[in-house]
Structure 1
Amino acid sequence: MFDWYYAWLEAWPWLHYVIAALIILVFLMLRKLFTRFIFAVIKKVSKHGKSHFLGNLLYAFEKPMRMLIVVLGVYFAVMYLNLQPDVMVVVNRLLRTFLIVFFGWGFFNFSGTSSDLFTRLGRKVDGDQDSMLIPFISRVLRGLIIVLMFTVIAMEWDYDINGFIAGLGLGGLAFALAAQDTIANFFGGIILVTEKPFKRGDWVETSTIEGVVEDIAFRSTKVRTFAEGLVTIPNSTIANDSITNWSEMRTRQVFSSIYLKYNSPVENVRNVLKRVDQELRDSPEVHPEEIEVYVREFEEYGMEMLVYYFTNATPWTEWLKVKEYFNMRILEILEEENVEIAIPMPDLYKHRDPS
C-alpha cells in the first residue's frame, strides 16, 4: 500500500529531512493550540473551585510546557531520521536533561512570592503580607531548586558528584575564609526575617541610616532614605546594630518650648496654662495619659512654657496636622490672654532727650 511512499524516499533521500521538518512544524502548531486549550480549561476550573492551588501550579508550568512540546517535536523528528545508535544515546540524554529542566523551571516559577503556595503559607505562618519572611524563604527555595536541578543533570551525564563534594572538602577551609562575610550576611538575613524587628515599608533608624525598608535579600537589606536615596546595608551589619522601628509607635511625641515675656501678668499666664492643658485633654487626637503644660524654667530672655503631649496619629502627615492645629490654638490663647511671646533679643526703647 505504501510502496510508492518508500519508492519516493528511495529515489529522493532528502525527503527524510523534509518529513522531519514537517514533524517539527506540526508540533509547533500544536504548541499554541494545546496550551491555549489546556489553560483555558484550567482557568474555568480554577474560577469555580474553592482553591486556586492546582491552577497556579499548572500556570507555573505554562512556559515550560510550550518549550517541552517543541523539544518533543525535535525529538520525534530525530527519531524518524533513525540516526546511529551513538547519536541516539546522546539525543536520549538531551531529552532527559530537558525533562529535568522542565520540572525545575516549573517549580522555580511556582516558588515565587506571588504564588498561591506562599500566599497560603504567609497567612498561616506570618499573617502579614508586608513581612520579608516569605520573600526570603522564596529565594532560599529557588536557590535549592536550581542546585538540585544542576545536581540531577550532572548525575544524568555521569559526572562524579562524590568527587566534587570531596574536592569541596579539600578546599573548604579556603572557601570558608573567602566567604565568611557572605555567610555572616546570610545568617544575619535569617535573624532579620525570623525575629522580625521590621517589615517591608517600615520606617527604621540605626546608628548609620534612617529610612523606609524596601527589601531584604541573602546578602543585604535595602533602605530608601527620606532624601530618596537607596542604601544597601550588609545584613550582618544591620543585625548587629541597634534598630529603632518608628513605624511601631503606638503614639507620637510632641515637645514644644514657648518663651513668654517676663512682663506678662501672672494670672494671665496661669490662664494660658490651664486653657492649653484643657484643650489637649478634650481633644480625641491626643493621648490622655501624658499631657504636661507647665512653666518649666526662667531663661535669660523669657519664661519657658513646656507643652508636652502624644498624638494618637503616628503617620508623619497626620501628626503634622494635629501639631499645627494645637500650635495655632496656643497662639490664639496667648493673644486672647494678652501674653506675648519672648524673642531671644533685647527690646529696644527710643529715649527722647528732655532738653
Structure 2
Amino acid sequence: MDTNTSIEQNLTSTLNVVDNLDMGLAQDIQNQLIPLYTSKYGAFFQQMIFDIPLANLLLAILVFLFILVLRKVFTRIILGFLQRLAKHSKTFYDDRIISALKEPLRFAFIIMALHFFFLLIFKETVFIKTILNTLVIYTIFWAMLAITEALRELFYDLTAKFNPDLSREMGNFILAILKIVIGGIGLAAILQTWGINVTALIASLGLGGLAFALAAKDTAANLFGSFALLADKSIRIGEWVKVGGVEGVVEDVGMRTTKIRSFQKTLITVPNQLVANQPIENFSRRGIRRIKMHIGLTYGTTSQQLVKIKSDIEAMLRSHKGISQKDSLMVFFDSFGDSSLDIFIYTFTATANWANYLEIREDIHLKIMQIVEENGSSFAFPSQSIYVEQLPPAQS
C-alpha cells in the first residue's frame, strides 16, 4: 500500500469515540447473564421479543434506568458539592464553569445509557453507533462553548487591560470569533464521524473560491468595518448616536452589523461598513447641551425697557447653577422683526442628561417670562396693523 492510499484511508475513516465508552463493562454485564440462561428458568429468559432475548431486554431496561438514577445523583450530590466548594473560592469563574457544564454532563449520561441499552440488546448497528458518536462529539463541543460563555467576564477583564473604553465590544468580538472556531472544529469532527472526507470537502470548496469571495465581499467589508469601529472608538454600547438617518442607542456592535434601538423602540440593524463610512454624530460624548432661542417683545417696548430686559436675562443666566459658565453665553438685541423686537439667547447647560436639560430649560423659560413681566413689557405674537387713509363717504 503506497503512502497516498494510506493517507486517503485515514482521511475518509470515521471518527469513533463510542467503542471504548463502556470500557468493557457491557461485556462483563453480559457474562453475568450466562448463569441465568443455564438455570432452570433459562427457557423463559431465552424467549425472543423483537428478536431480542427476554433476559437481555430486561437487563438493558434496568441498566438504562440505573444510569438515569446515577445522572440525578451526580447532578444533585457531586455537582452540588462542587458548587458549594466553588463558593468559597476567591473567583466566581469556577462557579460559572460548573453551572455551564451541568447540562452537557447530564446529557452525557443519557448517551451512555443509550450505548449500554443498544449493546445489551445486540442492536448497536453501524448507523446507531454513528449517531451515538455524533452525540458524544456534539456534547463535547457543547461543553466547550458553554465554558467559553461562562468565561465572558474574564474576556472583558483581559480586553480592559488594552482598552478599558471598549472592553465589552472587543470581548464580544473575540468571543464570537472563538465560538465560530470551536463550532467549525466540532462540525468537522461530526462530518468525519459520518465518514466524510473533510479535507477533500474543503478542497472542493476552493474550486468555487472566487465566486464565494465575490458573494462574501460585503461580509468582508462589514468585518473590516467592525475592526475600524473598535480601533477608532467612535461608538460604544449604550451611547446615543446618529448614523446617517438612523438615530438611537447602540445595543450591540457585532462582527457584521451594529444594532441601534431607536427612540420609537424599534431595533435597527446597520451594516458595519455603512457605520464606518458615514459621519457618526455621538450625542453621548458631549458634556453639555445647547440652548438657542429667540424671544420677541412687542413694539410698544421702549429702548430702556429692552436694554434692562436684555441685561436681566444675561445676569440670570450667569448666576444660574444649571448653565455652563465656561462656554459661550450670549444675549443680544438681534433684529426688528415683522411684529416683534427680537432678542437672541445662546448658552449651554452644565449637563448633557436629557431630563436634567429639560428641567433647566424650563426654569430658564419661566425666569425669562418673569423678567419680561417685571419690566412692564410683554411677548409679541404675529400680527398686522392696517391703516386706512380715508373712509368712504357715508351713504344716506
User: Under TM normalisation by the shorter chain, which class is it?
Assistant: 0.7 to 0.9
Quote the offset at 1:151 in angstroms: 1.5
Q: Distance in 2 between matches of 1:349 and 1:322?
A: 43
The aligned counterpart of 1:37 is 77
Are 2:64 and 1:24 aligned? yes
The aligned counterpart of 2:145 is 108
One-letter identity of the residue aligned with 2:348 = F
One-letter identity of the residue aligned with 1:7 = T
The aligned counterpart of 1:214 is 251
Q: Distance in 2 between matches of 1:93 and 1:31?
A: 23
DSSP-derived class of the 2:245 partner:
coil
Q: Distance in 2 between matches of 1:6 and 1:272?
A: 112
Q: Percent identity?
A: 29
Quote the offset at 1:108 in angstroms: 1.3
Does the 8 Å CA contact 2:57/2:120 hold for their aligned counterparts?
A: no
Residues 136-192 of structure 1 deviation map (CA, whole Å, 9 limit, x = unaligned): 333222222111111123334443222122212211001111222222223223333
DSSP-derived class of the 1:61 partner:
helix
Q: Distance in 2 between matches of 1:131 and 1:252?
A: 28
Does the 8 Å CA contact 2:336/2:342 hold for their aligned counterparts?
A: yes
Q: Classify 1:350/1:132 alpha carbon distance in 2 versus 1 (closer, same or farther; 3 Å).
A: farther
Q: Classify 1:156/1:273 alpha carbon distance in 2 versus 1 (closer, same or farther; 3 Å).
A: same
Does the 8 Å CA contact 1:203/1:212 hold for their aligned counterparts?
A: yes
Larger deviation, residues 129-138 vs 42-51: 129-138
TM-score (ref. length: structure 2): 0.79
Q: Classify 1:321/1:347 alpha carbon distance in 2 versus 1 (closer, same or farther; 3 Å).
A: farther
DSSP-derived class of the 1:214 partner:
strand
Are 2:368 and 1:330 aligned? yes
User: Within 5 A, what are the aligned runs for 1:161-176?
Assistant: 161-176=198-213
Quote the offset at 1:4 in angstroms: 4.5
DSSP-derived class of the 1:228 partner:
coil
Larger deviation, residues 143-152 vs 4-13: 4-13
One-letter identity of the residue aligned with 2:364 = F
The aligned counterpart of 2:294 is 257
Are 2:190 and 1:153 aligned? yes
One-letter identity of the residue aligned with 1:247 = S
Does the 8 Å CA contact 2:83/2:98 hold for their aligned counterparts?
A: no
Does the 8 Å CA contact 2:192/2:198 hold for their aligned counterparts?
A: yes
Q: Distance in 2 between matches of 1:234 and 1:275?
A: 51
The aligned counterpart of 2:38 is 7
Query: Which blocks of at least 5 consecutive residues in structure 1 are unaligned?
Result: none
User: Within 5 A, what are the aligned runs for 1:145-294?
Assistant: 145-289=182-326, 290-294=328-332
Cα RMSD for the two superposed structures: 2.9
Quote the offset at 1:42 in angstroms: 2.5
Q: Classify 1:54/1:131 alpha carbon distance in 2 versus 1 (closer, same or farther; 3 Å).
A: closer
One-letter identity of the residue aligned with 1:104 = F
Q: Distance in 1 between matches of 2:357 and 2:56?
A: 79
Quote the offset at 1:236 in angstroms: 1.5
Aligned residues: 350
Q: Classify 1:133/1:348 alpha carbon distance in 2 versus 1 (closer, same or farther; 3 Å).
A: farther
One-letter identity of the residue aligned with 2:118 = V
The aligned counterpart of 1:52 is 92
- Structure with larger Rg: 2
The aligned counterpart of 2:350 is 312
Are 2:171 and 1:140 aligned? no
Query: Which blocks of at least 5 consecutive residues in structure 2 are unaligned?
Result: 1-31, 46-52
Quote the offset at 1:56 in angstroms: 1.4
Does the 8 Å CA contact 1:56/1:115 hold for their aligned counterparts?
A: no
User: Within 5 A, what are the aligned runs for 1:78-117?
Assistant: 78-81=118-121, 87=125, 95-112=132-149, 115-117=152-154
TM-score (ref. length: structure 1): 0.87
